[in-house]
Amino acid sequence: MKSVRDHVKEYISENFLMGLKDSAITDDASFLDLGIIDSTGVIELIAFLEESYGIRVEDAEMVPDNLDSLDAIDRFIARKTFARASSMTA
Amino acid sequence: MELAKDLNGSSLLAIDYDRAIEDISRQFKETVVRFRRRGAVVAVSGGVDSAVCCALAVRALGPQRVIALLLPERESSGDSERLAMQVVEMLGVPYERKDITGALEALGCYERRDAAIRSVVPEYDRGWRNKLVIAGGLSGQFNHFYLIAAGPGGQRVERRLGLKEYLEIVAATNFKQRTRKNVEYYHADRLNYVVVGTPNKLEYDQGFFVKNGDGAADIKPIAHLYKTQIYGLARHMGLPREIVESTPTSDTYSLPQEQEDFYFALPYAELDVALAYLDSGRTAAELAGALGIDELAAKRIYADIAAKRRTTRYLHEAPVLIKG
C-alpha cells in the first residue's frame, strides 16, 4: 500500500503539474512557496484527501500546518484516521 | 475629515483631487486619440466606481462623446438602476438601457447556476435567493466559500462549497459580467468608442473581476486608486450624495451582499490601509497599530492579500504566444 506522502505526491504531480518536473516536491517543501498550489488548489486537494481517506476536513483544519507539505499532510491524515478509528472502537 | 486618509489620519492615502482629475482626464483623452477612437462607453451600475469613471470620461471628452449604459438583469437591485439614472442625469450624458435578462436566460446563466446550487441545497427553488461568502483567510485558514441560500418562508441554509460546485456557480454567474461587456463593445464598435473598465485598485490588485467580463476594457482610469480615494473623488466631483455614501456591493447575487463578505473579507477602508502599508514596506506590527488589531491578525491580512494575488495572477495575463 502506498504511503500517504507517495499517494499525495502522485496526485499533485498528475493533477497540478500534469506530469511536468516534480523534483521540487520534497517531503517538507511548502506547496505555497513552490507556487504549485493556490487556495483553489487547496480546496481540490481537500476533496482528494476526504475521498481517499474517508475523512472530513473541518474549516478550522484548513490551515497550512495541516496541508502545505507532504509531511504536514502525512501527520494530519495520521491524526484524522487515528481519531476516526478511536471513535469506532469506543 | 478628508476621506482619503488612513485610519490613523496620516496622509498615506491622501491625494490632491484636482490634480488627480487633471492627470486622469489628460491621459484619458490621449488614450482615446492614440487608439483613434471618438469617445467612451461606460456601463453605469449605480455604484461609486462607475459613477466616478463616467464623470472622468465627461471631464476628459465632454458629455457628447460619452455614452452611459444601464444594463440591469432580473436579479439586480432596484436601487442600482435608480442611482445609475441619477449619475446619467447629473452628468448630462446620452444613455441606453438594455435589460440583459433574456440573454442570460438564453445562455443558461440562471438555470446552470441554480442546478449547481441544488446539488448542495436540494430544496433550492424559484423564490429562493443566494449568495457566496468567503471564509478562512483572516482566521489563518485557506480561503474557501460558503453558499448561503434563503427561502421564501424564511429558511436559511449555509453550505461549504466543494470546488466543483463553487466553480459551477461562479462560472454561470460570470455570464452576467461577460454579457454586459458584450453590449458595451457593441456600442463601442458602432460608435468607434473605447470601453471604460471601472475596477478600483483593490479589485484590480486582488483579482476581483471576471476575465473578459468586467476585467475587459480599453482604459481603466481608476485602477490605481484606493476605494477610499474614489469615494473622496466622487465627493469632490459633486456626484450624487446617495452614491458617495453608499456601501460597495457586488450586485451579482440575488441576496443582498456587500463586497467584503463575498471577496475581500475586510471593509474597504481597512483593506485600503492594509494594501498601502504592505506595498510601502510597512510591517505587520505597524499595520496592527494602524487598524487597532493584534499583530497575528495583521499578519493574516498580509497573507490573505498575498494569497489572493497568487490565486488570481492568471487573470492579468495576456494570451501566451508560442515562441517559434
CB contact under 8 A, B142 and A59: no
Which chain B residues contact residue A36 at CB under 8 A?
none
By CA distance, what is A34's nearest residue in B?
B310
What pLDDT, on the 0 to 100 scale, is given for residue A37?
A: 86
Res. A90: pLDDT tops 90 = no
In chain B, the percentage of residues whose pLDDT exceeds 90 is 79
CB contact under 8 A, A59 and B310: no
Res. B249: pLDDT tops 80 = no
Q: Which domains does chain A have, with CATH numbers?
A: 4-89 (1.10.1200.10)
Cell 476575465 found at: B211
Under a CB-based contact definition with an 8 Å cutoff, are residues B67 and B42 in contact? yes
In chain B, the percentage of residues whose pLDDT exceeds 70 is 93
What pLDDT, on the 0 to 100 scale, is given for residue B2?
A: 42
Per-residue pLDDT, averaged over B66-80, amounts to 95
Burial A25-53 (b: 16+ CB within 10 A, else e): beeeeebbebebbbbbbbbbbbebbeeeb
B158 and A CB contact within 8 Å = no
- How close is the nearest chain B Cα to the Cα of A90, in Å? 29
Per-residue pLDDT, averaged over B125-140, amounts to 88
Beta strand pairing call for B156-160 and B144-150: antiparallel
Return the C-alpha torsion angle A54, A58, A63, A65, nearest 10.
Answer: -50
Per-residue pLDDT, averaged over B12-39, amounts to 96
Instruction: Domain ranges for chain B, please list them.
Output: 17-106+168-315
- In angstroms, the CA B114 to CA A79 distance is 37
Res. B240: pLDDT tops 60 = yes
Res. A23: pLDDT tops 90 = no
B160 and A CB contact within 8 Å = yes
pLDDT band at residue B209 under the 50/70/90 scheme? very high
- In angstroms, the CA B50 to CA B222 distance is 9
Q: Which of B55-69, B173-187, B291-305 has the lowest mean pLDDT?
A: B291-305
Pick the CATH number of B17-106+168-315 from 3.40.50.1100, 3.40.50.620, 1.20.140.10, 1.10.10.1590: 3.40.50.620
Per-residue pLDDT, averaged over B197-223, amounts to 96
Res. B3: pLDDT tops 50 = no
What pLDDT, on the 0 to 100 scale, is given for residue B250?
A: 60
Per-residue pLDDT, averaged over B237-259, amounts to 78
pLDDT band at residue B168 under the 50/70/90 scheme? very high
CB contact under 8 A, B310 and A35: yes
Per-residue pLDDT tens over the stretch B275-305: 999 999 999 999 999 999 999 999 999 999 9
The one-letter code for the residue type at B306 is A
ipTM: 0.84
CB contact under 8 A, A59 and B144: yes
Which chain A residues contact residue B143 at CB under 8 A?
39
Q: Of B77 and B6, which is predicted with more confidence?
A: B77
- Give the distance from CA B140 to its chain's centroid: 25
Res. B7: pLDDT tops 80 = no
What pLDDT, on the 0 to 100 scale, is given for residue A32?
A: 86
Res. B257: pLDDT tops 80 = no
What pLDDT, on the 0 to 100 scale, is given for residue B318?
A: 93
The one-letter code for the residue type at B105 is E
Cα B253–Cα B254–Cα B257 angle in degrees, nearest 5? 60
